[in-house]
Structure 1
Amino acid sequence: MKNDITYYAKNRQSAKAYKADQKISPENVDKIKALLRYSPSSVNVQPWHFVIASTDEGKERVAKSTDEAYPFNSSSIRSASHVVVFSSRQEANEEHLQQLLLQEEKDGRFDGDPETFKAGMDAGRKMFINLHKEKFNDVNHWMEKQVYLNLGQFLLGVAALGIDATPMEGVDTSILDKEFGLTEKGLTSLFVVTLGYSDAENDFNAALPKSRLPYSDIITEV
Structure 2
Amino acid sequence: MKLIEALNWRYATKRMTGAKVPAERVERILEAVRLAPSSYGLQPYSVLVIEDPALRERIGPVAFDQPQIVQSSHLLVFAAWDPVEARHVDELTQLIAETRGIEASELDAYGATIKGTLDGFATPHERFQWAARQAYLALGTALAATAVERVDASPMEGFDPAALDRLLDLEAQGLRSVALLALGYRDTEADRHAGLAKVRWPRERLFIHVPEA
Alignment TM-score, normalising by the size of structure 1: 0.88
* Alignment match, 2:33: 36
Q: Deviations over 1:3-54 (max 9, x none)?
A: x32112222101111011x111111121122122111100112111111111
* Alignment match, 1:80: 72
* Alignment match, 2:94: 102
* Alignment match, 1:128: 117
* 1:118-157 matched pairs, under 5 angstroms: 118-131=107-120, 133-134=121-122, 138-157=126-145
Identify if the C-alpha distance between structure 1 residues 136 and 47 changes in structure 2 by more than 3 Å, giving closer, same or farther: closer
Identify if the C-alpha distance between structure 1 residues 181 and 209 changes in structure 2 by more than 3 Å, giving closer, same or farther: same
* 1:1-222 matched pairs, under 5 angstroms: 2=1, 4-20=2-18, 22-66=19-63, 70-71=64-65, 73=66, 75-108=67-100, 111-112=101-102, 114-131=103-120, 133-134=121-122, 138-221=126-209, 222=211
Between the aligned partners of 2:125 and 2:51, the Cα distance in structure 1 is: 37
Q: What's the offset of the Cα at 1:95?
A: 2.2
Identify if the C-alpha distance between structure 1 residues 187 and 34 changes in structure 2 by more than 3 Å, giving closer, same or farther: same
Identify if the C-alpha distance between structure 1 residues 185 and 153 changes in structure 2 by more than 3 Å, giving closer, same or farther: same
State percent identity of aligned pairs. 26
Between the aligned partners of 1:135 and 1:170, the Cα distance in structure 2 is: 26
Whether the 8 Å CA contact 1:39–1:149 is kept in 2: the answer is yes
Whether the 8 Å CA contact 2:6–2:150 is kept in 1: the answer is no
Which residue identity does 1:142 align to in structure 2? Answer: W
* Structure 1 runs, 4 residues or longer, greater than 6 Å off: none
Whether the 8 Å CA contact 1:84–1:194 is kept in 2: the answer is yes
Between the aligned partners of 1:135 and 1:200, the Cα distance in structure 2 is: 46
Between the aligned partners of 1:139 and 1:55, the Cα distance in structure 2 is: 32
CA RMSD in angstroms, aligned pairs only: 1.8
Alignment TM-score, normalising by the size of structure 2: 0.91
Where in structure 1 are there 5+ consecutive unaligned residues?
none
Q: What's the offset of the Cα at 1:90?
A: 1.5
Between the aligned partners of 1:127 and 1:137, the Cα distance in structure 2 is: 17
Q: What's the offset of the Cα at 1:103?
A: 1.8
Q: What's the offset of the Cα at 1:189?
A: 0.5
Whether the 8 Å CA contact 2:86–2:115 is kept in 1: the answer is no
Identify if the C-alpha distance between structure 1 residues 23 and 9 changes in structure 2 by more than 3 Å, giving closer, same or farther: same
Whether the 8 Å CA contact 1:64–1:175 is kept in 2: the answer is no
